[in-house]
Amino acid sequence: MSDIDVEAVDEVEDDATEGEVVEHEDADIDVEAATDLPEGVDAPEYVLYGGKGGVGKTTMAAATALSSAADGTATLVVSTDPAHSLSDTLDVDIPPRPTRIRDDSPLWAAEIDPEAAMEEGMLGEGGIGVDDAPLGGLGDIGDALGEDAVDPLMGGSMPGADEAAAMRQLLEYLDDPRFDRVVIDTAPTGHTLRLLELPEVLDSMVGRLLSMREKFSGMMEGFKGMFGVGDEGEEGPDLDELSDRIERLRDVLQDPTRTDFRVVMVPEEMSVVESERLVARLDEFDIPVNTIVVNRVMEDLADVAEVDPEWVVSPNLEDCEFCQRRWDVQQRALRRATDLFRGHDVKRVPLLADEVRGERALRVVAACLA
């Protein structure tokens, strides 16, 4: 296997403009592997992988994106997890803006940098930033709303401010006509739920501001450029347009023909319990969960997919007591998961003996997901 030319990746321009796609001329990967990469995936425009930390969300997102791009579908895989591991999984440095990482297929990748995004303004360039004016700088609006209402909007202490920055950039990518499919590696459950709550929070905030617009028309200048809409030098959208974009985002996330939120879990009791809670919370948001992925199942890989024989290394359930006990733990969890998630498309990815890193391993995972 030939790895991506790291020097070519390092040549990404640091000052790439917002939304620019930087192509790497030397980003070809010559993979000599018997495991064929599935051409395309059975998935809508937007695929989000979520779940508890450490269950393999990044692996599933990377494998899905590789398969999606294999048939010529322009695909962006993006990580919203502050502790990114997408670069490690794909074995290539990934910048915070969409960057083409393959020449042989239309695959782009990005790791959102929440801190950098927040420096641009929590709601976009020209919007509310983490170091903007204090309460007194808002004049009448500050006096009217009070310190408790305004301070969280102005300072970095606002709960979920990094998720808001991620949501802003994510909205840009969902609207980007260059991508036919966007695959999202979300942060662990708590961060993801805060991110998904933001459309409601922002909608409520914008609604209140709209109702106060006549009285506080002067404050509108402070909201120019929300969500980075408009070219440089142009005025950003007004609050009506921002409200429309929030509504479109909600519609996309709640449309099962356009979005599939895939919950990833491992066959352990606590993971099943947390996955059940996550599915229930997503149901409250009316966000469709069509797929459950059970990762690291102790079963024969050859029974799941046709893969390179070198990957087929199964646990010894006859002579290994540790393997036997882990098998029992997994079987109990799998039985409960089967009962809980009836009606969902449940995909099982076997436990691999080797580390899942780089395309050869991701091909195996992609074959299992197919």
Q: What is the mean pLDDT of residues 162-179?
A: 74
Is 42 a residue whose pLDDT tops 90? Answer: no
The tokens for 168 are: 């802003």
CATH code of the domain made up of 6-117+162-262: 3.40.50.300
User: In the structure, what pLDDT confidence band is assigned to residue 21 with cuts at 50, 70 and 90?
Assistant: very low
Reported for 82-88, long-range contacts at CB under 8 A and 24+ positions apart, including other chains, are: 82/114, 82/162, 82/187, 82/191, 83/187, 84/111, 85/58, 86/58, 86/61, 86/62, 86/111, 86/185, 87/111, 88/357
Q: What is the mean pLDDT of residues 307-333?
A: 89
The residue whose two tokens read 């794909």 is 90
Beta strand segments in the chain, E: 22-23, 46-50, 75-79, 99-100, 107-111, 181-185, 259-265, 291-297, 345-350
Q: What is the mean pLDDT of residues 6-13?
A: 36
Highest-confidence range of 172-186, 212-226, 235-249, by mean pLDDT?
A: 172-186
- Report the percentage of the chain scoring pLDDT > 90: 36
Tell me how crowded residue 221 is: count the other CB atoms within 10 A of its CB: 9
SS3 of 296, please? strand
pLDDT by residue (tens digit) across 64-119? 999 999 999 999 999 987 777 899 999 999 998 899 999 889 999 999 876 665 56
Which tops the pLDDT comparison, 113 or 30?
113
Domain ranges in the chain are 6-117+162-262
Strand ranges of the sheet holding 46-50, from the earlier edge strand across to the other edge: 22-23, 99-100, 107-111, 75-79, 181-185, 46-50, 259-265, 291-297, 345-350
Pick the closest to residue 204 from 126, 149, 281 (CA basis).
149
Return phi, psi of residue 348, to 5°.
-115, 130
